Chains A and B, each alone.
Chain A
Amino acid sequence: MITVERLCKSFGSLAAVDDVSFSVNEGEIFGLLGPNGAGKTTSINMICGVLKPDGGRVVIGNKDIWLEPKAVKRTLGVVPQEIAVYEDLTARDNLNFWGSLYGLSGGDLKSRVDESLTTVGLTDRAGDRVKEFSGGMKRRLNLCMGLLHHPRVLLLDEPTIGIDPQARLNILEVVREVADGGTTVLYTTHYMEEAQELCDRIAIMDHGKILTVGTLDELTRLAGEAEVLRLTGDFDDPSIRDRLLALDGVRVLKVDDRIAVLSVEAGGPGLLEVLPRVLAADLGVEDVSIQQPNLQSVFISLTGKELRD
Chain B
Amino acid sequence: MAGLDILRRDLLRYWRNPIRTALLFAMPLVIAGVFALAFGGGGGDQISIKILLFDEDDSLLSRFLEGAGGSSQRDQKLEVVPVGEEGYEMMERGEASALIHLPQGFTTDFLDGTPTTIGVVKNPSERFLPKIVDEGARIGAVGLSEASRVFRAELAQIGDFTREEKFPADLAVAGLSSGVNNKLKGLERFLFPPVVTLESVSLRSEGGEEEDSDFNILAYVLPGFSVMGILFLAQSATRDILRDRESGLLRQLLTAPVSVNDYVGGKCLSVFAVTALGFALFVIIGLAAGIRWGPAPAVVALMLASALAAAGLLILIMSLVGSERQGDTLTTIVIIVSSMLGGAFMPVSQMPAFLTPISAATPVYWSTEGFAKLIIHGGGLGDIVLNLAVLSIVGAALMLIGALILKRKIERGAL
Contacts and interface: CB of A to CB of B under 8 A. Distances in A.
Say what secondary structure dominates the interface of chain B: helix
Interface stretch (B121-129, B253-261, B289-297, B318-326): B253-261
Interface stretch (B89-97, B112-120, B243-251, B344-352): B243-251
B413 A129 contact: no
Contacts of A102: 256-257
A73 interface: yes
Contact of B254 (A49, A82, A88, A129): A49
A84 B248 contact: yes
Given A80-B252, A86-B9, A73 B257 contact: yes
Contacts of A98: 256
A50 B9 contact: no
A52 B413 CA distance: 9
A269 to B, nearest CB: 53
A45 interface: yes
B257 A101 contact: yes
12 contacts: A49-B255, A71-B257, A82-B248, A84-B248, A88-B13, A90-B16, A93-B9, A97-B5, A97-B12, A101-B253, A101-B257, A129-B16
A83 B257 CA distance: 19
A51 interface: yes
A101 B13 contact: no
A51 B413 contact: yes
A103 B248 CA distance: 22
A50 B254 contact: yes
B72 interface: no
Contacts of A90: 16
A235 to B, nearest CB: 43
A78 B258 CA distance: 13
B213 interface: no
Contacts of B329: none
Interface string A36-55: 00000000010011111000
A145 B251 CA distance: 14
B389 to A, nearest CB: 37
A84 B251 contact: yes
Interface in A75-124: 76, 78, 80-86, 88-90, 93, 97-98, 100-103
A261 B128 CA distance: 85
B336 interface: no
A277 interface: no
B251 A70 contact: no
A138 to B, nearest CB: 12
B334 interface: no
B5 A89 contact: no
A67 B31 CA distance: 54
Contact of A73 (B1, B17, B251, B256): B256
Interface string A151-170: 00001000000000000000
Contacts of B2: 101
A93 B12 contact: yes
Contacts of A49: 254-255
A76 B257 CA distance: 9
A74 interface: yes
A37 B231 CA distance: 42
A71 B291 CA distance: 53
Interface string B8-27: 11001100110000000000
Interface of B: 1-2, 5, 8-9, 12-13, 16-17, 247-249, 251-259, 411, 413
Contacts of B251: 45, 50, 80, 84
A270 interface: no
Q: How large is the interface on A (under 10, 10 to 19, 20 to 34, 35 or more residues)?
A: 20 to 34
Given A49-B254, A80-B248, A86 B13 contact: yes
Contact of A69 (B16, B259, B413): B259
A118 to B, nearest CB: 22
A84 B16 contact: no
A89 B255 contact: no
A84 B17 contact: no
Nearest to B247: A84
Given A82-B247, A88-B17, A102-B256, 20 more contacts: A52-B413, A69-B259, A71-B257, A73-B258, A78-B252, A80-B251, A80-B255, A84-B247, A84-B251, A86-B249, A88-B13, A89-B12, A90-B16, A93-B16, A97-B9, A97-B12, A101-B5, A101-B258, A103-B257, A129-B16
Contacts of B411: 52
A85 B253 CA distance: 10
Contact of B16 (A51, A78, A89, A155): A89
Contacts of B259: 69-70
Contact of B257 (A70, A81, A86, A88): A70
B5 A78 contact: no
The 9 closest A-B pairs by CB, nearest first: A84-B252, A78-B255, A82-B248, A84-B248, A101-B256, A73-B257, A70-B257, A100-B5, A97-B9
A144 to B, nearest CB: 13
Contacts of A103: 1, 257
Contacts of A155: 255
B99 to A, nearest CB: 55
A76 B258 CA distance: 12
Contact of A88 (B8, B16, B248, B255): B16
Contacts of B252: 78, 80, 84, 145
